[in-house]
Amino acid sequence: MKPNKTDIWIVVVSLVMGGAMGLYYDDIKRLYRSKDTSNPYTVIGVLEKEIDLGTIAQGQEAKAFFGLVNKGDEPLVISRVETTCHCTQGAFQLLPTASGDTAFVEVVYDKHAPGFFYQDVRIHGNFEKSPLVVGFMGRVEFEQGNGK
């Protein structure tokens, strides 16, 4: 059976896209420096592993900033931030952090229930013992007349 033009185009597009995806994967792998021996880790220092936000008003958004100092020779790349609750969101810079510089991870806590809270944050990157687990705590103060 002789292949038609559509079959040939499907094969050509598949090869081109497969090659492009392979290049894209290699670029991502190089950027994020996976934990194999060809892509070394960097060394980090943490400014604070635990942050006390104190007392916040009910319904108020609270923010914490965790600083990671790049003490190694390789650029520091934070690849992912995980939180333990949907009430907490993490944000980080996508660009690599040079040796000697500090990268910051911002977490925003937005919970309306009064009382004490403690949240873990897992920071993933190209450093030993990734993910790094840090935490923050505080107390949400009941607001009189809120009706909640």
Domain annotation covers residue 147: no
- Supply the CATH number for residue 67's domain: 2.60.40.10
State how many domains the chain has.
2
| 132 and 65 in a common domain | yes
Band the pLDDT of 42: cuts 50, 70, 90: very high
Check whether residue 26 and residue 80 sit in a common domain.
no
Q: What's the pTM value of the predicted model, to 2 decimals?
A: 0.70
Distance CA 59, CA 57 (A): 6
Q: Identify the domain containing residue 103 by its residue range.
A: 44-141
Residues 79 and 135 in one domain: yes
Any domain includes 60: yes
Q: At 27, which amino acid appears? A: D
In the predicted model, what is the mean pLDDT of the chain?
A: 80
| Same domain membership, residue 81 and residue 48 | yes
Which residues contact residue 38 at a Cβ distance below 8 angstroms, ignoring those fewer than 6 apart?
none
Please tell me whether residues 80 and 136 are part of one structural domain. Answer: yes
The mean-pLDDT minimum among 19-23, 95-99, 107-111, 141-145 falls in: 19-23
Average pLDDT value for residue range 77-99: 93
Same structural domain, 76 and 20: no
The answer to whether residue 37 sits within a structural domain is no
Whether residue 88 is found in the same domain as residue 108: yes
Residue 69 lies in a domain: yes
- Do 25 and 56 fall into the same domain? no
pLDDT (average), residues 31-37: 45
The full length of the chain comes to: 148
User: DSSP assignment of 59-88, as one string?
Assistant: T--EEEEEEEEE-SSSPB-EEEEEESSTTE
Place of tokens 């892509």: 39
Q: 11: which residues sit within 8 A by CB, 6+ positions away?
A: none
Coil/strand/helix, residue 7 = helix
Mean pLDDT value of segment 89-102: 94
Q: Supply φ then ψ for residue 19, to 5 degrees.
A: -65, -40
